[in-house]
């Protein structure tokens, strides 16, 4: 075999992709990882190699550097920050954070555990929920210490604060059934800046901190394949820079923090058809599933691959919550005040992607509305039902039931709060299409590699793959379907990113 090596120290032939090339590489398993023996010399070496510059990767970098390791962080795109920088920057924290206390809110670790384990998906990993909740107050202190700016301001308004308030109810805590399952507390901690700038602000602080600590950060370097020692340990990674392959050795560990796969359409269709059908893939351009696929290639187990958020952002304005949301049978199926991710999940996963918001004069969107199209309007509920071609008499029948009880302050089906509960009365009535392919319906993936609380990746036999870590949306973490609160994803990224970085830095080889 020819050994015309380029500057990566591996032969050109090794760099070909595809089946034929994989065979030529002598890849031992999965045909998609490279045996370390094939790398004759490494382009670079570091202690901890981290792929991805979102909240998970940068938190891992800060932690690994803080533990004394040399850290190289690579980012496939030209700009750092990942999907986290595009997000609201909310971190879900509780159990009595400094900010909760300062603002006079009581919370407990037990309440937070109850909410996270009971209000959403069944059988989520309790070890992660418990550790995250127990260390949540300390984790918030860590974010403050990294320079993330928070204000001592709370808002009761639903939805991401557009002022500079830093604490709010970011999830479905106050909606039934969650409020009966766990004592509600505001746990959305968001950088205290006006507008949709929380994510950018959070990432500026973390990236600045990582730079100050001496993390070596390189943009435009794309992870492509893992390199594996003959004993199964991670040796490093093949990366691509300007179309050239290079090899980077990681003496202590590799952290995959490359995000999810919302922008890999074929992968999305195979794994998460409900998200594939949503109108707006919501993520960073780098959310191509690369980290997940590199992990699977070396035998990692991937979990909850069909999970994600599917979001129906009906509020603000809150007045629309006095309307009702119905399915194709003209039935209500949820409390309308539920958090966007909970409502979106119900529509995308459990109502075959179709639903409508029915409003009367007072509950209509007050101004121009880009997110949801008005697809029916009329002077009676019957008019609306006819235009939507709902089953004969069903909507009228269900509105009559709803109105009769709402007039008494009751919502027997879904216990909507009295703040929003009143009969639908007063034309014109309007139906707004909340269907996943018609509405503004952002979707993002939550499935990823199976990790422990230390970020170590596990294979299908429950064993750890030595030296391999994953964090953020490359891992299967706390966020699941339904997504019960804003801040769980970035919270999971920062918290378990730190765990992975610490563990990777301390790994003795």
Which residues in 25-84 contact its own copies (CB under 8 A)?
A: 25-33, 35
Contact 244, 7 (CB under 8 A): yes
CA dist 277 → 79, 198, 328, 345, 497 (Å): 29, 28, 17, 13, 30
Task: Cis check for the bond before 482: say yes or no (omega within 30 of 0).
Answer: yes
Residue 237 main-chain phi, psi, to 5 deg? -150, 145
Q: Supply the minimum distance, in Å, between the C-beta of residue 273 and its own copies.
A: 4
From residue 102 to residue 121, what is the string marking binding to its own copies with x (rule CB under 8 A)?
Answer: -------------------x
Q: Tell which positions 241-300 bind its own copies, by CB under 8 A.
A: 266, 269-271, 273-274, 276-277, 292-294, 296-300
Under the criterion CB under 8 A, does residue 331 sit at the interface with its own copies?
yes
* CA 183 – CA 421 distance, rounded (Å): 22
447 burial level (CB within 10 Å; 0-12, 13-18, 19+): buried
Query: Closer to its own copies at the Cβ: 242 or 461?
Result: 461
DSSP labels for 65-96?
HHTT--EEEEESSSSS-HHHHHS---EE--SS
* CA 52 – CA 34 distance, rounded (Å): 20
Q: Using the rule CB under 8 A, give the single segment among 99-107, 148-156, 314-322, 464-472 that binds its own copies.
A: 464-472
Under the criterion CB under 8 A, does residue 410 sit at the interface with its own copies?
yes
Under the criterion CB under 8 A, does residue 123 sit at the interface with its own copies?
yes
Q: Supply the minimum distance, in Å, between the C-beta of residue 401 and its own copies.
A: 5
Query: Closer to its own copies at the Cβ: 189 or 307?
Result: 307
Contact 251, 46 (CB under 8 A): yes
Query: Closer to its own copies at the Cβ: 149 or 382?
Result: 382
Q: Supply the minimum distance, in Å, between the C-beta of residue 193 and its own copies.
A: 39
Q: Tell which positions 146-175 bind its own copies, by CB under 8 A.
A: none
Q: Supply the minimum distance, in Å, between the C-beta of residue 350 and its own copies.
A: 5
CA dist 254 → 294, 420, 467 (Å): 11, 50, 6
Q: What angle do CA 482, 77, 299 make, to 5 degrees?
A: 60
Q: What is the largest CA-CA distance in the chain?
A: 83
Q: Supply the minimum distance, in Å, between the C-beta of residue 438 and its own copies.
A: 16
Q: Using the rule CB under 8 A, give the single segment among 84-92, 166-174, 187-195, 390-398 that binds its own copies.
A: 390-398
Query: Closer to its own copies at the Cβ: 189 or 263?
Result: 263
Query: Closer to its own copies at the Cβ: 29 or 285?
Result: 29
Q: Supply the minimum distance, in Å, between the C-beta of residue 446 and its own copies.
A: 13
Q: Supply the minimum distance, in Å, between the C-beta of residue 352 and its own copies.
A: 9
Query: Closer to its own copies at the Cβ: 153 or 233?
Result: 233
CB atoms within 10 A of CB 508: 4
207 burial level (CB within 10 Å; 0-12, 13-18, 19+): buried
Q: Tell which positions 466-485 bind its own copies, by CB under 8 A.
A: 466
Contact 362, 418 (CB under 8 A): no
The gap between the terminal CA atoms of the chain, to the nearest Å, is: 32
Under the criterion CB under 8 A, does residue 306 sit at the interface with its own copies?
yes
Q: Supply the minimum distance, in Å, between the C-beta of residue 323 and its own copies.
A: 18
Query: Closer to its own copies at the Cβ: 234 or 488?
Result: 234
**For its own copies, which residue of 228, 439, 470, 500 counts as binding (CB under 8 A)?**
228
* CA 47 – CA 216 distance, rounded (Å): 11
Under the criterion CB under 8 A, does residue 391 sit at the interface with its own copies?
yes
Give the E-state strand segments of 12-53 in sequence order: 34-35, 44-51
Q: Supply the minimum distance, in Å, between the C-beta of residue 74 and its own copies.
A: 19
* CA 73 – CA 51 distance, rounded (Å): 6
From residue 433 to residue 462, what is the string marking binding to its own copies with x (rule CB under 8 A)?
Answer: -----------------x--------xxxx
Contact 432, 375 (CB under 8 A): yes
Query: Closer to its own copies at the Cβ: 151 or 459?
Result: 459
Under the criterion CB under 8 A, does residue 3 sit at the interface with its own copies?
no
Q: Supply the minimum distance, in Å, between the C-beta of residue 144 and its own copies.
A: 35
Q: Tell which positions 336-375 bind its own copies, by CB under 8 A.
A: 349-350
Does an H or E element contain 384, and which? helix 381-388
Q: What would the two tokens of residue 401 be?
A: 């039931």
Q: Supply the minimum distance, in Å, between the C-beta of residue 274 and its own copies.
A: 8
Q: Give the helix ranges, DSSP H, for 165-236.
A: 178-181, 198-213
Number of residues this chain uses to bind its own copies (CB under 8 A): 72
């Amino acid at each position: 075999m020819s050994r015309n090596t380029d500057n990566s120290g591996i032969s050109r032939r090794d760099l070909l992709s595809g089946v034929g090339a994989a065979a030529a590489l002598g890849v031992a398993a999965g045909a998609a990882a490279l045996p370390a023996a094939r790398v004759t010399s490494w382009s670079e070496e570091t202690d901890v190699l981290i792929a991805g510059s979102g909240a998970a990767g940068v938190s891992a970098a800060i932690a690994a550097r803080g533990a004394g390791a040399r850290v190289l962080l690579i980012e496939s795109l030209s700009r750092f920050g990942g999907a986290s920088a595009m997000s609201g920057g909310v971190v879900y924290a509780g159990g009595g954070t400094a900010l909760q206390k300062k603002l006079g809110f009581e919370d407990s670790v037990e309440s937070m555990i109850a909410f996270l384990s009971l209000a959403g998906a069944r059988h989520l990993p309790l070890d992660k929920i418990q550790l995250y909740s127990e260390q949540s107050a300390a984790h918030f202190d860590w974010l403050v210490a990294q320079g993330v700016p928070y204000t001592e301001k709370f808002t009761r308004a639903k939805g991401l604060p557009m002022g500079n308030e830093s604490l709010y109810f970011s999830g479905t805590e106050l909606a039934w059934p969650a409020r009966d399952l766990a004592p509600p507390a505001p746990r959305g901690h968001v950088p205290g800046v006006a507008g949709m700038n929380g994510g950018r602000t959070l990432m500026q602080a973390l990236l600045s901190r990582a730079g100050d600590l001496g993390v070596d950060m390189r943009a435009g370097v794309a992870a492509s394949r893992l390199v594996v020692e003959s004993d199964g340990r991670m040796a490093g990674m093949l990366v691509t820079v300007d179309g050239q392959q290079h090899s980077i050795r990681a003496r202590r560990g590799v952290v995959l923090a490359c995000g999810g796969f919302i922008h890999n359409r074929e992968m999305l269709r195979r794994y998460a058809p409900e998200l594939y059908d949503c109108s707006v893939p919501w993520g960073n351009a780098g959310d191509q599933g690369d980290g997940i696929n590199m992990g699977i290639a070396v035998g990692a187990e991937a979990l909850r691959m069909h999970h994600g958020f599917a979001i129906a952002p009906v509020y603000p304005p809150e007045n629309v919550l006095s309307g009702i949301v119905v399915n194709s049978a003209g039935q209500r199926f949820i409390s309308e005040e539920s958090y966007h991710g909970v409502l979106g999940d119900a529509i995308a996963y459990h109502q075959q992607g179709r639903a409508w918001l029915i409003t009367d004069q007072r509950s209509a969107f007050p101004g121009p509305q880009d997110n949801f199209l008005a697809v029916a309007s009329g002077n009676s509920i019957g008019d609306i039902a006819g235009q939507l071609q709902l089953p004969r008499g069903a909507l009228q029948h269900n509105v009559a039931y709803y109105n009769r009880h709402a007039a008494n302050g009751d919502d027997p089906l879904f216990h909507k709060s009295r703040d929003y509960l009143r009969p639908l009365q007063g034309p014109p009535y309007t139906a707004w299409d909340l269907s996943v392919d018609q509405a503004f319906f952002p979707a993002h993936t939550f499935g990823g590699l199976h990790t422990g609380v230390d970020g170590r990746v596990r294979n299908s036999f429950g064993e750890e793959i030595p030296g391999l870590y994953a964090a953020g949306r490359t891992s299967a973490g706390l966020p699941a379907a339904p997504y019960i609160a804003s801040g769980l994803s970035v919270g999971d990224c920062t918290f378990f990113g730190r765990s992975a970085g610490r563990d990777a830095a301390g790994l003795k080889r």
